[in-house]
Amino acid sequence: MSGKSSYSNDLSGRALLCKDVIRAAGALVLKGFQKNTGRAFSMKGPQDFLTETDAASEALICSTISKHFPDDGFLGEEGGGKVTDRLWIVDPIDGTANFVRGIPHFCISIAYVENNDWKIGAIYNPAQDELYFACRGAGATLNDKEISVSATGTFDTASVEMGWSGRVPNEIYIRTISELLALGTNVRRTGSGAMALAYVADGRSDAYIELHMNSWDCAAGLLLVEEAGGVVCPFMEIGTLAEGGPVLASTRAIAAGVSQASRIPVATPHLVATDLQRARG
């Protein structure tokens, strides 16, 4: 932490606190990752260790936020919580399968929401020391440098990432992947939905789809993509903070086709057929 004893009770104060606390939690999580890396993988040992690190990360974030903004609500993957008008949403480690196997592709995700509107979003991969950050209306950054979505304009040059879980039948995922491949896109999965959204924001990927995603996995990333100039789904209309919902984030040129393949709407209704036709080349 920066050692700051107080933060202004406004969005700028919360933004500063968010940056401080996510880096502090990142240092804790990185120690756990480095301690565990190189051990032979077995479900019991690493899984127990992961649970301990997960809980410690969330506890640090929650206690720090509560100290400075005691009236704000908190919704975490590990500890739960309830939805309030001013709410912090936290995933203390996203990409847990990578974490326990010594793969440095995982992150901490923190979002601040006021009246169901994303205001602050931060995603930090401590293994790579990459901090993505966005405030509503102020753009998106990676390690304080401005980022934007890719300029990819056609499906045959696009790379789309897709995540999945047991909440949706495999047949639907298979159909979606088949339709994406038919458009000409490359489809991949790297094991962290939050990181996948951050990669759309900085142009390493062109789109991300998940047919059901918890809010703590996607809240920060959706704001990042929006602020980086991308197109996202209307999450609060098709899902909820408490229960989650489908997620789509994309560069504009391929958004209509990705939406069509996934059956997930985009929040930019003026995306028209010409965008889809142009992306098909």
**Domains, the chain:** 11-146 (3.30.540.10), 155-279 (3.40.190.80)
**Which pLDDT belongs to residue 84?**
80
Q: Output the tens digit of pLDDT for each of the chain's 281 residues.
A: 554 568 899 999 999 999 999 999 999 999 988 887 544 444 444 444 567 888 899 999 999 999 999 999 998 877 667 778 899 999 999 998 899 888 999 999 999 999 888 999 999 999 999 999 999 999 999 999 999 999 998 999 999 999 987 788 889 999 999 999 999 999 999 999 999 999 999 999 999 999 999 988 999 999 999 999 999 999 999 988 888 899 999 999 999 999 999 999 997 655 544 455 555 55
**Which pLDDT belongs to residue 40?**
42
Of 251, 265, 139, 122, the C-alpha closest to 194 is 122
Strand partners, 132: 123, 142
Beta-carbon contacts of 88 under 8 Å, excluding residues fewer than 6 positions away, are 61, 65, 72, 73, 74, 75, 110, 111, 112, 113
DSSP letters spanning the chain: ----S---SSHHHHHHHHHHHHHHHHHHHHHHHHHHTTSPP-THHHHHHHHHHHHHHHHHHHHHHHHH-TTSEEEETTTEE---SEEEEEEEEE-HHHHHTT-S--EEEEEEEETTEEEEEEEEETTTTEEEEEETTS-EEETTEE-------SGGG-EEEEE--TTS-HHHHHHHHHHHHHHT-EEE--S-HHHHHHHHHTTSSSEEEEEEE-HHHHHHHHHHHHHTT-EE--HHHHSBTTTBEEEEEE-HHHHHHHHHHHT---S-TT--HHHHHHHT-
pTM here is 0.89
